[in-house]
């Protein structure tokens, strides 16, 4: 019953937000902004830039709220808007370029186990170039498939796979380096 | 290429992470939202103005076209009235000129005139020359009756015309009285003619015929007839004369100028 009540409450808040009720909009913002800022932070090293992207994405959320069909989760809908805004922001900055390299080796994190905290994981992700980081985030964190990633970024599926392979290899090297550093300091 | 344990760990930790945005972030978003709302309201008002102006134009247009149609109808009526007036005035003018005697109201009396009277009248007109006493042909009488019926139907609009017509009738009556005064003269002239032929006819017969003609003439309405052809010929003649005069004067002037020029040239 609680879930149903929460869902009904969310729908009512969304309806009010569609009617430009600022209080309802603020409620949505306060509920989802911390998670969405975390999403935006995955794609940008700078927290201020991430916040700018989040604000712009929230504007799009509120202006397109009447198009929300209440079929999926509201959080997932907002999250997709955030991810798309992050991608368009990085592309607008011309920070990313994908090499059409379809020759790749399937690489994983062979025998590597870690007990990193969130900041360390974010540090490892930030160490990746923008192209690798983008595809790694979309595939490993957001759960998109290569076909979807290829459509989103306007690249081939093979390029997406090769970019992910390179990202994993680089990330593995960085994990090893980090572990060595941590072991050395300890 | 499936996600392994490290990636799942990354996913869990990053998705569960929450980063609190700065306090200014909501203020900025609030400002952006209010700006967007203002734009929307302005747009809506703009559309309202455009819609109101379009409706206004349509309203004014319909009013304008409806007024023009009414005006056209009125003009048409005016034209019809003018035509009627022209027709009536033409008849009056014809009555005045004497070519066609169409005394509209007096046509009943004129219609009684017989063909025998016409013959006697023609005789009299021949003797007098300019002054004619014509009769009314039966066709014209019918036309005048039609006119009367039309006037009755348009009594309101033709009040002025009736007044004018009454005036014309008064004039016409005066003319006829003048004609009546001249009738005895014509009778005398006829008498002189009959005296010349008295060898063949008896006095009594002549007296009876004269009495009859006098009675007939008394019943008639006479008018002064103007011969249109003679008038036209006179006018044409005058025009030709003036043209000739102009030509001659021009020739004279030119001749004089040339003459003076030649004299001057010879002097030089």
Does residue B8 register a pLDDT over 80? yes
Average pLDDT over residues B204-222: 76
Cβ of A34 within 8 Å of Cβ of B20? The answer is yes
Q: Please give the pLDDT value at position B48.
A: 81
For residue A113, what is the nearest residue in chain B, using CA coordinates? B6
Which bin fits A156, alpha (ψ -120 to 50), beta or left (φ > 0)? Answer: beta
pLDDT in tens, B112-157: 444 444 444 444 444 444 444 444 445 555 555 665 665 565 555 5
Cα of B6 to nearest chain A Cα, Å = 7
Cα of A120 to nearest chain B Cα, Å = 10
% of chain B residues with pLDDT over 90: 16
Residue of B2, B21, B39 to mutate when probing chain A, most A C-beta within 10 A: B21
**Alpha-carbon torsion angle A23, A25, A30, A31, nearest 10:** 120
Question: Residue B75 and residue B69: Cα distance in Å, rounded?
Answer: 10
Average pLDDT over residues B67-95: 55
Tell me whether residue B200 is exposed, middle or buried, using C-beta atoms within 10 angstroms of its C-beta: 0 to 12, 13 to 18, 19 or more: exposed
- Three-state SS at B130: coil
Q: Please give the pLDDT value at position A84.
A: 94
Tell me whether residue A141 is exposed, middle or buried, using C-beta atoms within 10 angstroms of its C-beta: 0 to 12, 13 to 18, 19 or more: buried
For residue A25, what is the nearest residue in chain B, using CA coordinates? B30
Residues 138 to 167 of A: which have CB under 8 A from any B CB? 139-141, 143, 161, 164-165
Q: Say which DSSP state A140 is in.
A: I
For residue B3, what is the nearest residue in chain A, using CA coordinates? A140
Cα of A13 to nearest chain B Cα, Å = 17
Does residue B211 register a pLDDT over 60? yes
Give the residue ranges of chain A where pLDDT is below 50.
Answer: 1-2
Question: Looking at the complex, does the CB of residue A108 fall below 8 Å from at least one CB of chain B?
Answer: yes
> Which residues on chain B are in Cβ contact (under 8 Å) with A33?
21, 25-26
Question: Looking at the complex, does the CB of residue A112 fall below 8 Å from at least one CB of chain B?
Answer: yes
HSE-CB of A40 using CA atoms within 13 angstroms: 29
Does residue B108 register a pLDDT over 60? no
> Which residues on chain B are in Cβ contact (under 8 Å) with A37?
18-21
Q: Say which DSSP state A128 is in.
A: S
Global model pTM greater than 0.80: no
Question: Looking at the complex, does the CB of residue A37 fall below 8 Å from at least one CB of chain B?
Answer: yes
Q: Please give the pLDDT value at position B60.
A: 93
CB pairs under 8 A between A and B: 87
């Amino acid at each position: 019953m609680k879930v149903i009540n929460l869902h009904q409450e969310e729908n009512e808040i969304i309806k009010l937000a569609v009617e430009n009720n600022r209080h309802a909009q603020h409620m949505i913002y306060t509920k989802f902004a911390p998670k969405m800022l975390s999403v935006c932070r995955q794609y940008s090293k700078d927290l201020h830039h991430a916040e700018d992207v989040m604000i712009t994405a929230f504007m799009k959320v509120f202006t397109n709220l009447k198009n929300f069909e209440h079929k999926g989760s509201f959080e997932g809908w907002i999250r997709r808007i955030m991810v798309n805004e992050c991608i368009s922001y990085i592309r607008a900055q011309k920070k990313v370029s994908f090499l059409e390299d379809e020759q790749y080796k399937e690489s994983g994190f062979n025998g590597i186990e870690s007990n990193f905290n969130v900041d360390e994981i974010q540090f490892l992700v930030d160490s990746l170039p923008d192209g690798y980081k983008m595809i790694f985030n979309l595939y490993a964190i957001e759960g998109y498939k290569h076909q979807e990633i290829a459509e989103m970024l306007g690249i081939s599926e093979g390029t997406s796979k090769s970019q992910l392979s390179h990202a994993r290899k680089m990330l593995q090297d960085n994990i090893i380096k980090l572990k060595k550093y941590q072991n050395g300091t300890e | 290429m499936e996600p392994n344990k490290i990636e799942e760990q990354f996913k869990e930790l990053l998705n569960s992470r929450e980063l609190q945005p700065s306090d200014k972030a909501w203020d900025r978003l609030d400002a952006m939202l209010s700006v967007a709302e203002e734009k929307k309201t302005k747009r809506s008002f703009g559309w309202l103005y455009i819609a109101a102006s379009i409706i206004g134009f349509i309203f004014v247009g319909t009013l304008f076209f409806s007024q023009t149609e009414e005006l056209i109808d009125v003009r048409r009526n005016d034209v019809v009235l003018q035509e009627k007036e022209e027709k009536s005035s033409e008849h009056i003018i014809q009555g005045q000129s004497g070519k066609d005697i169409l005394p509209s109201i007096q046509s009943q009396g004129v219609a009684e005139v017989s063909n025998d009277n016409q013959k006697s009248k023609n005789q009299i007109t021949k003797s007098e020359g300019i002054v004619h006493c014509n009769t009314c042909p039966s066709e014209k009488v019918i036309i005048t009756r039609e006119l009367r019926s039309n006037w009755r139907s348009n009594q309101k609009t033709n009040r002025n015309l009736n007044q004018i017509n009454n005036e014309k009738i008064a004039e016409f009556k005066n003319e006829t009285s003048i004609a009546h005064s001249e009738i005895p003269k014509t009778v005398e002239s006829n008498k002189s003619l009959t005296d010349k032929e008295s060898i063949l006819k008896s006095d009594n017969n002549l007296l009876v015929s004269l009495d009859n003609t006098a009675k007939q003439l008394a019943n008639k309405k006479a008018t002064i007839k103007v011969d249109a052809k003679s008038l036209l010929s006179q006018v044409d003649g005058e025009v030709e004369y003036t043209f000739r005069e102009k030509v001659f004067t021009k020739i004279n002037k030119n001749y004089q100028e040339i003459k003076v020029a030649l004299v001057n040239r010879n002097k030089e």
